[in-house]
A and B are shown apart, each in its own frame.
Chain A
């Protein structure tokens, strides 16, 4: 199918459908209605596939958008809501009785405010792959084999100043991502600032960034500057 862009009317209709529980099949007009959508300026095709995680889905969309700079498709661009509709069966599968359990709307309709922008399941993944390359992967995989917004992603992007720094993401990945199991290590993301966990890393990294140019440092250089509490994750 040719990629389309959702209009403000389309986004309103999508939001209304989500707020109503999003049961049953996806309304066809949300994908191709003349009032709800417009053609995308680039003629690009996309197709349905099975994805085991958010990273796979994001990589697929990113590959298709390879020729399109991010500055052409800002976070408030209608293409991201259209992608959410197109892949809605993957993002929010139907239950056996035809109902669905949609999460908060910001996962499907991009809210660009600082505290929510990173929850868009497709758009933010594409942005992150462009910004961080392979280092984006641990942010978007989950043991459940579903497309979800993980605690790891939520806690990492809670430190938005630090997320400008690839070395922050890379350092966190070195500590908390189990490459063999392809998942975040157990105990890395509690809701408290337990020593050695992601939230503590954010605090400590902020302190290091006051003194050192973390943007110019490798994750290995940063790991050497971390206090003892983080050592057991690397051993």
Chain B
């Protein structure tokens, strides 16, 4: 049994305590924070910090105090040194400056942001480009959450996978298949002795349920080994492809390419 000690009565804030948006403005990514919701009982002079981080990169935004919060704007809102492809994450801290100085009074980690690039939606799976993939184009890895890794040696690979109609229908269904299968096969949606449940598991399973025509994922109890999982996942993937008409998209894109090649006299 894992026992957590919290002598300083540090509060865990819920992940919707603040809304983070990332917007592209020229060369810069601008951070905006809104809808700050803090529980009562926090020290009024407590300082609020929003922290962006990725690997060793780090940037802190001063959001004022509990009694007088302020949002980043202008120069102070620019996300510096974080390059495109970083899986930037955010955390929010309230720090006590009156009692034991520097004590964290409340914290929320791994806050999802919404991105203007993604039409204001919060990405369910972060995408990043990595090296050393050799001839592999993509893979899904699990590091406290699923990440879609793309081969950094391929120019514009991120744009190709997310926007090219002839490519995304080939890759994205299998990404969904890998993630759903692993969540169910390894029970990542439940707390275990080795760690807490994967926090986005309910979102993925809800997605699977939507695509499989409203059928609930097979429960752990009474599950007929892997067969039930594969049947449900296959239904979800089929529904996903149907929703996005991937085959039609792929054929249309191929036709466009064929016409363009014919215009250039290739055929």
Contacts and interface: CB of A to CB of B under 8 A. Distances in A.
- Verify that A and B bind, or say they do not: yes
Interface of A: 8, 11-12, 69-71, 74-76, 105-106, 109-114, 116-118, 127-128, 130-131, 157, 160-161, 163-165, 210-213, 215-217, 221
Contact of A106 (B8, B132, B152): B132
A109 B56 contact: no
A8 B155 contact: yes
A111 B134 CA distance: 11
Given A106-B131, A110-B131, A127 B95 contact: no
Interface stretch (B15-23, B75-83, B229-237): B75-83
Nearest to A8: B153
Contacts of A11: 153
Contacts of B84: 74
B57 interface: yes
A75 B57 CA distance: 12
A12 B153 contact: yes
Interface in B106-156: 128-132, 143, 149, 152-155
A21 B81 CA distance: 35
Closest 3 CB pairs of A and B: A74-B83, A164-B58, A111-B131
Interface stretch (B47-55, B168-176, B177-185, B253-261): B47-55
Nearest to A71: B83
B81 A71 contact: yes
6 contacts: A71-B27, A112-B129, A112-B152, A210-B104, A212-B103, A213-B49
Contacts of A71: 27, 80-83
A112 B102 contact: no
Contacts, number: 92
Given A71-B82, A112-B128, A211 B10 contact: yes
A111 B153 CA distance: 10
Contacts of A114: 55, 143
Interface in B55-86: 55-58, 60, 80-86
A70 B81 contact: yes
A212 B81 contact: no
B267 to A, nearest CB: 27
Contact of B81 (A116, A130, A217): A130
Given A109-B131, A110-B131, A76 B152 contact: yes
B85 A76 contact: yes
Contacts of B80: 69, 71
A118 B83 contact: no
Residue in A11, A127, A212 with the greatest tally of chain B CB atoms within 10 Å: A212
Contacts of A116: 132
B129 A76 contact: yes
A161 B82 CA distance: 15
Nearest to B59: A164
A163 B152 contact: no
A130 B80 CA distance: 12
A6 B155 CA distance: 12
B152 to A, nearest CB: 4
A153 to B, nearest CB: 11
A127 B83 CA distance: 12
Interface string B164-203: 0000000000000000000000000000000000000000
Interface string B82-98: 11111000000101000
Contacts of B57: 131, 164
Contact of A212 (B102, B129, B152): B102
Contacts of A221: 102
Given A110-B131, A111-B132, A112-B128, A131 B56 contact: yes
A109 B53 CA distance: 23
B8 A112 contact: no
Contact of B83 (A75, A106, A111, A210): A75
